[in-house]
Structures are given as C-alpha cells and as structure tokens.
Amino acid sequence: MDKDKKMMVFYLFLAALSSPVVTEEWKASVIKELEALVTSCVVVPCSFSHPGGPLPTSRLRGIWHLKTGRNQLVYYEDQTRILENFRGRTKLLGHLGLSNCTLEITKVRDHDNGPFCFRIELAKSTDPSTSNKFSFVEDCVDLRMLPEPPKPTLSHSETATEGRPFTITCSVTHTCPSHAPRLKWSRADPDAVHEVHKKSRFGFWEAESILTITAEEKDDHTDITCTAEFNGDSKSSALMTLYVKRSANYNHIIIATVVAIGTAVIFAGFCIFMVKRYKKRMSRPSRR
Ligand SMILES: *[C@@H]1O[C@H](CO)[C@@H](O)[C@H](O)[C@H]1NC(C)=O
C-alpha cells in the first residue's frame, strides 16, 4: 500500500517533469475514428503543432500513409509515390503553414478503412546550420465504412392547418463537408426552402433543409419525400404523410346565428303587426 503510494508520487513527478518537454515536441492530432460512405467522400480532420512557431508550407511535407508501412503512401506531394489505388483520390484540404493537415478522400472504396496515419517532415533547409533537420509526428485514424447512406430524418412542429404556413425540416449527417449531400423535396411548389450546414460532433456534419408550404385542403393525406443525394450518387430518402387540419372557420356559425336572429326579428315584427291589427279591429266601432 505504502509502496504503491510512493510509486504514484514518483509517476506524478515524472509526468510533471516530462510535460513541458512533450509540448515542445511535434504533435499531430487526428480524429481517432470516423465513418465514411462508400462511393462518396470523407474529410478527416487533422491538425499539428510544432516548436518554434509557424513554419512556411514550402518547408513542410505532409504525408499520409497506411499504418502497415511508412512507404505505403496514401497522400504525398509526389503523386507517383502514392499507392496506385489511392492515386488521384486524396487531397490535403488544410494548409500545412496553418498547422492544418485535414485530408480528403474521394470515391471512397470499401477497403479504404485504414488505419491512415499522418506524418510531417520538415524539409531540408538550404541553410547549412539547419540542414538535415528532420522531425515527424504520427497519429492515425480508423475509418468505419458505410455501405449504405444514412437516412434523412424529418421533423415538423405542430399539425398543419389549412391556409397557414407549415414547415418541415429534413436533416442528414455526413462526413464530407467539402462535397456535402444535397437535400431535395418532392414538393414542386414550396413557398420557401432554406438550407443550413452545421457541425455536429467532431468530424461529423449535418445538412439541413427547411421547407415551408401553405397547407391546403387538397394536401391532406398526401406524402412529402425528402431525398438526400450524396456526392458519388448514393441516395436515401424519408417520407412523411401530411395531415391538414381545417382552419377554425366560424362563418357557418355566424351565418346560422344571423339567419336565426333575422327570422326571430321578422317573426316578432310579424306578431306585433298582427296583434296591433287585431287590437285596431277590436277597437273599431262596429259599422253594423
Ligand atoms: C482545416 O482545414 C479544413 C479544410 O479547409 C477546414 O475545414 C478546417 O476548419 C480547418 N481546421 C482548422 C482547425 O482551422
């Protein structure tokens, strides 16, 4: 027990001692796991830090390789050194000069699961004092392949009411912000369609489309479909049935009331008239 405590203190001491050293080193931070839709594209967030402030992009070499080997290049400046089945499909979206090593893979294939690791090299400088200086960091991502695209989700506020604006929101998650999925509605005559793209949890994004229509009586029990068209032509859709509530219409009650009051007034008038006529007749002296 006592020995364990001593060891713990020792380790804490070691950690405290080594942490300032660690921050002085090159560090990469790559998302650990991300989903990728087969046939579509994926953007892998990645950033790195290095000692001695920012360096120009021209002196940095960003490399993405398979975890199984440093020579199995997935991304490199020199395309000819990239593995054949990744050639032309990978791009560094981030600027290395801004410490951004974000990778894009397009036309994702089923076997692109990785793990892919990022490595950075400081190019040999022309300055002899720093020539051959060479640093690297490595951090890897695992891709989880999605054979089918995720379905969009539909949501709406209350029930649609005749003659009133009604909004439906369609949203779908994705991992390719560089070529986000497009959301399409089956309605040919919307009042408005509003598109929003937002960040979800780290590495994931949400495409959203908000449809506004004026609900009509004829829309009752009709279907509305939202289709998500992903980059690479994968599609998925969601459907909802519209139920339209009749607008609270009091006209018929008003008309009935007016008619009833009118009838009563006319009837009362008629009665008074009759009574008066009867009284007149009674008071008239008999001519007989
Ligand atoms: C890195 O670059 C990507 C692509 O341009 C961008 O979307 C992302 O916001 C950048 N990350 C940071 C931390 O700036």
* Domains of the chain in sequence order: 24-146 (2.60.40.10), 153-245 (2.60.40.10)
Find out whether the beta carbon of 94 lies less than 6 Å from any atom of ligand 1: yes
> What is the arithmetic mean of pLDDT over 30-56?
88
The reported pLDDT for the residue numbered 194 is 93
196 Cα to the center of ligand 1, angstroms: 18
Is residue 22's pLDDT more than 80?
no
Ligand 1 in reach of 93 Cβ (< 6 A): yes
Ligand 1 centre from 288 Cα, in Å? 116
Give this prediction's pTM.
Answer: 0.73
Using pLDDT thresholds of 50, 70 and 90, give the confidence band for residue 97.
confident
- DSSP helix/strand/coil, 278: helix
Q: Cα(103)–Cα(76) distance, rounded to whole angstroms?
A: 11
pLDDT of residue 2: 58
Q: Cα dihedral sign for 59, 31, 45, 114? A: positive
Ligand 1 pocket test, pick from 29, 47, 102, 175 with the greatest ligand atom count within 8 Å of Cβ, gives 102
Please name the residue whose Cα sits nearest to atom 14 of ligand 1.
Answer: 100
pLDDT tens digits for range 110-157: 999 989 999 888 766 555 444 444 556 678 999 999 999 999 999 997
Average of per-residue pLDDT across 177-203: 91
* pLDDT of 23 strictly over 60: no
User: Residues 74-96: what's their mean pLDDT?
Assistant: 92
